Chains A and B, each alone.
Chain A
Amino acid sequence: MRATTSAEIRAKGLNRERWNAFLRKYAIVLIFLGMVVLLSILSDAFLAPRNLVNVVRQISVMGLLAIGVTMVIITTGIDLSLGSVLALAAVVAASLAQRSDWREVKYPGLDVPLIVPIVAALAIGLLCGTINGSLVAKFKIPPFIATLGMMTVARGFALIYSDRPISGLKDSYNFIGQGELLQIFPVAGQRPLGIPIPVLILAAAAIAAHVMLTSTRFGRYIYAIGGNEQAARISGVNIDRVKISVYALSGLLAGLAGLVLSSRIGSGQPGLAVGYELDAIAAAVIGGTSLSGGIGTIWGTIVGALIIGVLNNGLDLLNVSAYWQTIVKGSIIVIAVIIDTRKNR
């Protein structure tokens, strides 16, 4: 909050221009902080440390998808297949992580180290993403159609692989989604609070993606393609390779998200995460990523995901019915885009 006031003072004295630029850049953060303040007034439970940790834990899966889709959207693409790819990765990973003493085992007698399901989930995500990217880059299929196809196909494969939930997963696997590190934050009358591993995974992915976008050549290429594909091409950017890599990364993150979600709920289900890609796209758009490409940041997307998470959590705490929640969420997404298009005029 101190940064805000000092910027304000400088702006008053010197130029309004700078203040406006500041607002344009950080409006979304201010909206988020406003929501937090409002909810902490309206609900006693909201600010409790355990609740806040819960909010972040709940957005970790959507956040992973949102990071990938942000990069895709910056290249003027879209990825609708994320939820389905997540589910496919989840069922396959879960089937490789079942306890041998479980009553319904997919592969009887199979007992492989933890690394196998992890690698399998990531590989499936990477493969699906690479196919998406190749369809878009090499076969010139519009991203909407290519990934819509993958959305249906991956869901189909997930159902063929297992039409029922795969449960009875090993504790070591479930630790990925349920475990906490650094249980050092004391909470009165309860076990100390730690940082959930999904949150750490999300943070690591966000930092890696942020650094990649802002300070590597590959990141510059991503923005260049979104800014103007012709200009990027004539400046020597290998458009096809960058596009395929971006979709592949997006798929990889969906595989990772499948790992996190299935281990959090302790079961791999073919019907997981239906429509999650839309929440992820919403997070990216609320966070200032432009669907016309070239514009977007990872931190903006994370704030966008936090806004959705806080909204879900807050409306739950305030006992708003689930039906009304969807209406509120939808409206906020549209309002965010209206604000975004107005400020860019």
Chain B
Amino acid sequence: MDASSPVLSVESVTLDFGRVRALDEVSLHVRPREILAIIGPNGAGKTSLLNCISNFYKPSSGRILFNGRDLTRVPPHRIASLGIARTFQNIALYTGLSTLDNLMAARHVHMRSGLLECVLYWGFAHREDLHHRRVVEEIIKFLEMEPIRKATVGALPHGLRKRVELGRALALEPRLLLLDEPMTGMNQEEKEAMARYILDIHEQRDVSIVLIEHDMGLVMDIADRVVVLDFGRKIAEGPPDEIKRNPEVIKAYLGQEHA
């Protein structure tokens, strides 16, 4: 292991669905402020791994340590307050609300004031709300979402919704950001914009990013390191250049006969 201790350590995680083994003894580390890409053919277990980290699934065995804390023993709703945020392959947003309200909804978790405080100590609740509003407005600016601030999310095109979802994740001010195919269904221009946002986040915020993506070109461009999964097993790990030349990886992607 490196000198810099990892933010996230996945330690021989196995996940079974009945008789199907989705993840088989997978281990990996995420270092502070790095972009780690997880790639692999369809059904390789990429999203399953993300679901284990964000506690949607419970691994059959193994541990997942986040800053030394075993996530498999933490209840799902505590994940956000520990500093882990994620986006979903098929976008999870409040479609009836505006962009602003979607981001504010994420902040409400941190809002301590309930009804009583509102009545008894109005000033505090008000200040608290203002603070959240400032954080959210800063994210809206960061992701260049000013024009759609008031737009109902359900009416936005796919590419923009993906961006709102990224904003929702950032609103939690995470230390670890999990992005599940943030560029699917986008055209080249939108993909490049999204890649730029991810790089900006990487540069300006103290956050580690785990990224699942199918577009190889983009992954190789933005990731610091790449982990390759195939049939639930980790078959390779390393910097993009190494991965590109790895015969195991080429075999997994192109099939046996090409190797």
Residues of A at the B interface (CB closer than 8 Å) are 211-212, 215-218, 220, 224, 227-228, 230-231, 233-239, 294-295
Residues of A within 8 A of B114 (CB): 216-218
Minimal beta-carbon separation of A6 from chain B (angstroms): 24
16 contacts between A and B (CB under 8 A): A217-B113, A220-B105, A224-B94, A227-B95, A227-B97, A228-B93, A228-B94, A230-B88, A233-B56, A234-B85, A234-B86, A235-B108, A236-B77, A236-B79, A238-B77, A239-B76
Q: Which of B197-221 contact A (CB under 8 A)?
A: none
Could you tell me the distance in whole angstroms from the C-beta of A157 to the nearest C-beta in chain B?
33
Inside 8 A of A239's CB, which chain B residues have their CB? 76-77
Query: Which residues of chain A are near B95, meaning CB under 8 Å?
Result: 227-228
Top 8 A-B residue pairs of the complex, sorted by shortest distance between their CB atoms: A236-B80, A227-B94, A230-B92, A236-B109, A238-B77, A231-B92, A216-B115, A235-B106
Confirm or deny: B168 has a beta carbon within 8 angstroms of a beta carbon on chain A: yes
A224's closest neighbor in chain B, by CB? Answer: B105
Contact A235 to B96, CB < 8 A, known contacts A215-B118, A218-B114? no
Contact B109 A235 (CB under 8 A): yes
Count of residues in B whose CB is under 8 Å from the partner chain? 31
Cβ–Cβ < 8 Å partners of B93 in chain A: 228, 231
How many angstroms between the C-alpha atoms of A230 and B86 in the bound complex? Answer: 10
**B169 contacts which chain A residues (CB < 8 A)?**
234
Distance in angstroms between the alpha carbons of A176 and B92 in the assembled complex: 47
User: What CA separation (Å) do A57 and B172 show in the bound complex?
Assistant: 47
How far, in angstroms, from A224 to B95 measured CA to CA in the complex?
11
Known contacts A216-B115, A217-B114, A233 near B97 by CB under 8 Å: no
- Nearest B residue to A227 by beta-carbon distance? B94
Indicate which residue in B76, B118, B168 contacts A233 across the interface (CB closer than 8 Å): B76
Q: Take A215-B115, A217-B114, A231-B168 as given contacts and tell me if A236 and B96 are in contact as well, using a CB distance cutoff of 8 Å.
A: no
- Interface contact B115-A211, CB-CB below 8 Å: yes
Q: How far is the CA of A238 from the CA of B86 in the complex (A)?
A: 17
- A239–B114 Cα distance when bound, in Å, is 18
Nearest Cβ on chain B to A261's Cβ, whole angstroms: 30
A218 to B113, CA, bound (A): 11
Chain B 64-107 residues near chain A, CB threshold 8 A: 75-81, 85-86, 88, 92-97, 102, 105-106
Q: Which residues of B contact A294 (CB under 8 A)?
A: 94, 96
Tell me the bound Cα distance from A328 to B248 in angstroms. Answer: 70
What is the CA–CA distance of A237 and B76 in the complex, to the nearest angstrom? 9
CB-based contact A236/B81 at 8 Å: yes
Q: Measured between alpha carbons, how far is A220 from B104 in the docked complex, in Å?
A: 11
Within 8 A of A (CB), among B218-253: none
For A228, list chain B residues within 8 Å (CB). Answer: 92-95
